[in-house]
Structure 1
Amino acid sequence: MYDEFFSKASELLNEGVPFATATVVRAEKPTSGKPGDKAIITPTGVMHGWIGGSCAQPTVVKEALTALAEREPRLIRLSTDPHSEGRAGLIDLPMTCFSGGTLEIYIEPQFPLPRLVVIGNLPVAQALVQLGKAMNYNVIAVDPDNQGAGLEKANEIITDLAVMADKITHLSHVIVASHGHYDELALEHALRSKAAYVALVASKTRAEAVIDYLKGQGLSTEELAKLKYPAGLDIHARRGDEIALSIMAEIVQKRRTAEPLAIEALLADI
């Protein structure tokens, strides 16, 4: 079961899907759960694993979704007499059936690292890789020319743009800085993805030419509207590292001003 647990956790993290883990830390008979039993709960309320059967599952799912929405862990106790003994930091909740027993379960939300996908090997791309790592992003460098130099700090270096497309999730921030070498193909993949942010490092004239090309490739107005150019906030940047800083500042601004996920939205799909 543990192999399945960690395999599922790895799968969700790679897909950019947040989830909560639930671990039984204490159990009193009669209950089918025992200390060490684990489960993963997805944002849609699906449970993978075992924490004590149908008496505990509905409450654990609801509390897991609350933990995800509040971004805080919680320790819950399920029993037929939830008010028998209070303890600081412990949330007492009733069992949904009367089979008896008590379970204490630690629930912890898990959030994938935001992903930075950097395409190209210009000085600005190299600086983005370094800044992204310093800011705790999962950095993927895409270097079709396979030069490699300056990109070593990335979590992963890939050379195939088609492979890159499979790496882009809704938590991805994609920056194309290839100096015209493969702007069009890279953007075609990125703009058709679920990426949270897509930017092109290029002049306005160059960017407009790229957009005209992409229109000819059948990209919709909605897809093209996702493209940010020029990339980054206007801080009068000139050097590659300054441009990279302006781009990361824009990404932070976008992430921190995004509307938080409401608990009502999480509960709606159950």
Structure 2
Amino acid sequence: MTDRGSSAEQRLRATGTAYVRATVVRAQPPTSALPGDSAVVLADGTIDGFVGGQCASGSVRVAALTALRDREPMLLRILPDSSSPFPDVPGAHLVVNPCLSGGAIEVFLEPQLPAPAVRVVGGSPIARAVRQIAPLVGLELADEDGGRAATAVVIATHGGDEAATIRAAVADGAGYVGLVASQRRGAAVLAETGLTETELTRVHSPAGLAIGARSAPEIALAIVGEIVRELRTGGLDVPAGEPAPVRQAVDPVCGMTVVVGADTPRLSVGDEEFFFCGPGCRDRYAAKVGA
């Protein structure tokens, strides 16, 4: 059993990058993959790790991009032909890859999306309490000076140019912006922002659920609770970055869909360029066309 994707996953999580964890859960000889072999697949189709030979990896690459797009896990069954005596699993996504050198594998594809990140602006007791409570419910803290995109921004400065801070948070794409202020002062600050009515729907002032909070920890709890409510029921999304455009092509020999990348086997015939799941298909096509 291997864990080849662990170091890569640590780097991806640290940068808030979406990816797919691919793990071989069943393998039938003579496939080169073993149960427990794993890899990570990025949004551009790059694979880091091992989940089988080039043909099997190609099938994993294509299916992983679908799982990442849909944000849903997938059990992928890769068979050398449709009559392969590999026990069926209801609900699995089946791919027949005629280029496999025999055997069959099942790979579990699990999208790993960035955890919601909260940027807390200010050094007040409420701000410090939000920073303490947020990680307890799975929220990550984003640097106040930028870096990773924040799902939510909490402004607990109790003064300063709060209107400018709100505008910047909205412009950066935060789906939740919470202003710690009284209802009267908050209304005055929002009037200074110049935001549209649509943009103002993302701004919560006073920030936090109405739980009768009085102390700084209670107010912080109300704010974190409001962020969680928006994530679970309010449609607040976690920015995962725009996926890079991915080019796909159909192997003219075996009919498999392949992701075109720097390492994709290819062949130029006249003015056309063809892409293949592996060197075997490329060589067969080259022999066919006399290239």
In 1: Cα distance, 2:127 partner to 2:204 partner? 16
User: Secondary structure at 1:167's aligned position in 2?
Assistant: coil
User: Which residue pairs with 2:218 in the alignment?
Assistant: 242
Letter in 2 for 1:46: G
User: Which residue pairs with 1:166 in the alignment?
Assistant: 147
Distance 1:258 1:61, change over 3 A: farther
Q: Alpha-carbon deviation of 1:106?
A: 3.6
In 2: Cα distance, 1:196 partner to 1:23 partner? 33
Q: Alpha-carbon deviation of 1:59?
A: 5.6
Aligned residue runs from structure 1 range 48-197, under 5 A: 48-49=47-48, 51=51, 52-54=53-55, 57-58=58-59, 61-62=62-63, 65-66=66-67, 69=70, 71-72=72-73, 74=75, 76-81=77-82, 83-86=84-87, 91=92, 93-101=94-102, 102-140=104-142, 158=143, 163=145, 165-169=146-150, 172-197=151-176
* Consecutive unaligned residues in structure 1, runs of 5 or more: 141-157
Distance 1:21 1:198, change over 3 A: same
Q: Does the 8 Å CA contact 2:76/2:94 hold for their aligned counterparts?
A: no
Q: TM-score, normalised by structure 1?
A: 0.67
Distance 1:14 1:190, change over 3 A: farther
In 2: Cα distance, 1:27 partner to 1:84 partner? 10
Question: How many percent identity over aligned positions?
Answer: 28
Pick aligned residue for 1:226 from 197, 202, 208: 202
Q: Alpha-carbon deviation of 1:123?
A: 1.7
* Consecutive unaligned residues in structure 2, runs of 5 or more: 238-242, 249-291
Q: Alpha-carbon deviation of 1:231?
A: 0.6
User: Which residue pairs with 1:144 in the alignment?
Assistant: none
Pick the structure with greater CA Rg. Answer: 2
Q: Alpha-carbon deviation of 1:118?
A: 1.2
Distance 1:103 1:239, change over 3 A: same
Task: Figure out how many residues of one structure are paired with residues of the other and give that number.
Answer: 235
In 1: Cα distance, 2:198 partner to 2:67 partner? 33
Q: TM-score, normalised by structure 2?
A: 0.63
User: Which residue pairs with 2:21 in the alignment?
Assistant: 21
Q: Does the 8 Å CA contact 1:78/1:103 hold for their aligned counterparts?
A: yes
